[in-house]
A and B are shown apart, each in its own frame.
Chain A
Amino acid sequence: MTARDTILDALRRNRPDPGSHPLPPPATLGDLDAGRERFVASLRLLGGDVMERAAGEPLAAAIARHFPAARMICAAVPGVDGAIPVQDLPDARAADPVDVAVVRAAFGIAETGSIFLSEAQLHLNALAHLAQHLVVLLDPAQLTANLHTAYRRPEFRTARYGVLMSGPSATADIQGVLIRGAQGVRSLSVCFDPS
């Protein structure tokens, strides 16, 4: 017998009675506030920032103001002057020298301050992890209340790679000290920008 059949066979023999363990209907619980304030508070709790832009300020200028030392900026969105388009990176390794990556999230979650990125937004998935800093454009109309409502979004059924990023990378593995900026991005800044 193949491993597959051996395992499935054993499970069929050993399992508890399926009739006594019905599946509860899908749940939507908790706070259903999908507002921007709730999102920002959650984002900050997880170590993310909001990148404010002065009225009429071009995105490239706001980024330059925020990251004065950045040399290589790579954008997965159009309209960032001076940025390298992600389409020009030949492979994942080419994203290693990127100081700031600029992307647009498909949506955000107010409960957790998370933003969703997939290959549709990134083109090169590793960009969101090899870059030192991440600037995320987010349409405030694309906020959803919490994880229950988020999982109704169609992106989860189409993306092959879909990440909910909630603030920058972090670790508390050394004597419990929380360090933001572990191995992935050192900072994550959300810039509200209606699409």
Chain B
Amino acid sequence: MKDKRIDHAGAAAAFIADAPHLAFHDERLWDMRQKRDAQMHLLPEWQELRTLASQIKEHALANLPEYLEQFEENATRNGIRVHWARDGAEHNRIVAEILQARGATTLIKSKSMVTEECDMRPYLAARGITVTETDLGERIQQLDDQLPSHIVVPAVHKLTGDVARVFATHYGTDPKADDPRQLAEAQRQAARPVILHADAGMTGANFAVAETGTFVVCTNEGNADLSATVPGVHIATLGIERLVPRLSDLGVFVRLLSRSALGSPITQYTTHFRGPQDGGEMHVILVDNGRSARLGMADFWTSLKCIRCGACMNTCPVYRRSGGLSYGAVYSGPIGAIIDPTFNERKYSTLPFASTLNGSCTNVCPVRINIHDQLYKWRRVLVDHHQMPFVKREIMHMAGKLMGQPRLYRAAISGTETALGTLPRFALYNWLNPWGRHRELPHPVKETFHAWYRRNRSAPGAADTEKTKTDPTKTGRTKDTGQ
């Protein structure tokens, strides 16, 4: 574990210094959060859906070996070749073997965070295989040689001018033509011939259904379906935690996923793969890469419930104002901060400190992961495992940099969502939460919003409805204070 610690604070400071990018990033993600809220309010059953999603995922994780075996059996019966990969290296080797055995040298793929985890593209490139990302945002990031900065919108930190520059370099388009429509059309025109002549296609998967051996891919651009149906070979990479027991469970998750992610009722494409198409072949690679170990971490295993909707990122004041790239990891934002340390504890030791513990992430999470609790618990683990003065210096540094920004500072101290109700006082005000350092968090109201809400809206389950739909940094004040 010699890897250098990620300097989140330094990278975030650079992002903050770039006013147009910062402003757009902040607004765009907040807009996604608001669209999500609007969808939530249309469904009276929203909180029940979240509870079910959480219970189904916890059940599936507790019974994962059996569900994986059931999935394998059914998928195999349907003609899918199922492979298992302990880690990224094994995954990449399997992909290369499948391609090489078929003489394939070109692979088109849709977005898959697992292949990012495995760092697959350079491995295949070194073996003479050209990998082309077909998702627009992911392609922009590939051409610009950057990690995705967001798990749903990979190039959200870029403005149209940035995309125009990248496309001018790689597609030969006019660098001054920065109309998003023209740029999207340029991608369509550039991608089509590559798709038509690719030897193989690759997708990720959002869900895998044990009872039928189906895997499900939720996308918007149509590129995943093109990648899966045009070439004769389809390889799907999925993390072993994607399993759900039954088809009926998809009803719960599909209803939550796109509403939480983008605020749309469903993705444009929700595709169910249960076997190869006529004359084609289909492979599924089940990837562990640290997941089985994470399942054994009493405080952190529920992070495996994550359905990668990105809602926790969109709502996080620190993420919105520091940009995904500042996390220096495949997964950024609150979810990244609680799972990245399981990949490399030292390298990602600063990330659990990139949070105000305001609890907004926990409130929006469609599978009810206690994200802010886990952030706090990671801080304690990291202090136990690493030199305390070092960690302490790092986090004070981070808080100092980010709190130099008045808007961000207001966001930080306005943390009045669930954290204040569920974390003990010492957790909020001790040195492990530098955000509470300069002043008391504005909590000492006589009656918490929680209590008020419970008293005034006594519908069962109403108490855990989210409360703060106003971003305090937009209005300059918080909803919970001032009583």
Where the two chains meet, the residues of A that have a C-beta atom closer than 8 Å to any C-beta of B are 2-4, 6-8, 10-18, 20-24, 26-30, 42, 45-47, 92-93, 96, 111-114, 119, 125-126, 128-130, 146-152, 156-157, 159-177, 179, 182-185
Contacts and interface: CB of A to CB of B under 8 A. Distances in A.
Given A7-B240, A175-B24, A24 B220 contact: no
Given A46-B265, A166-B267, A182 B59 contact: no
Given A16-B62, A96-B192, A171-B220, 5 more contacts: A14-B296, A160-B276, A164-B270, A167-B268, A182-B221
B62 A24 contact: no
A87 to B, nearest CB: 12
A109 B74 CA distance: 27
Given A14-B292, A174-B136, A175-B24, A151 B247 contact: yes
A51 to B, nearest CB: 18
B52 A24 contact: yes
B255 interface: yes
Contacts of A23: 55-56, 59, 245
25 contacts: A7-B240, A11-B68, A11-B295, A14-B293, A21-B59, A23-B59, A27-B252, A47-B268, A96-B196, A111-B255, A147-B250, A148-B251, A148-B255, A152-B248, A159-B274, A164-B272, A166-B265, A173-B221, A174-B158, A174-B163, A175-B24, A179-B180, A184-B222, A184-B225, A184-B268
B37 interface: no
Given A11-B65, A167-B268, A175 B159 contact: yes
Contacts of A47: 268
B270 A93 contact: no
Interface of B: 24, 28, 31, 43-45, 48-49, 52, 55-56, 58-59, 61-65, 68-69, 78-79, 84-86, 90, 134-137, 140, 153-156, 158-160, 163, 180-181, 183-184, 187-188, 191-192, 196, 212, 214, 220-223, 225-226, 228-231, 240, 245-252, 254-255, 262, 264-278, 286, 288, 292-293, 295-296, 301
Given A93-B196, A130-B230, A183-B191, A27 B272 contact: no
Contact of B155 (A93, A164, A173): A173
Contact of A172 (B153, B191, B245, B246): B153
A114 B229 CA distance: 20
Leading 8 A-B pairs by shortest Cβ distance = A184-B222, A14-B296, A169-B222, A160-B275, A10-B292, A173-B137, A26-B248, A182-B221
Contacts of A119: 277-278
Contacts of A166: 265-270
Contacts, number: 266
Nearest to A156: B247
Given A93-B196, A151-B250, A184-B223, A174 B296 contact: no
A174 B160 contact: yes
Contact of A160 (B191, B277, B301): B277
A6 B86 contact: yes
Contact of B158 (A4, A8, A172, A175): A175
Which of A12, A92, A149, A162 gathers most chain B CB within 10 Å?
A92
Given A15-B295, A18-B63, A175-B180, A126 B153 contact: no
A16 B295 CA distance: 7
A162 B265 contact: no
A94 to B, nearest CB: 10
Contacts of B24: 175-176
A28 B255 CA distance: 12
Given A21-B58, A172-B153, A11 B64 contact: yes
A6 B293 CA distance: 11
B266 to A, nearest CB: 4
Contacts of B86: 3, 6-7
Given A3-B86, A130-B230, A166-B270, A13 B296 contact: yes
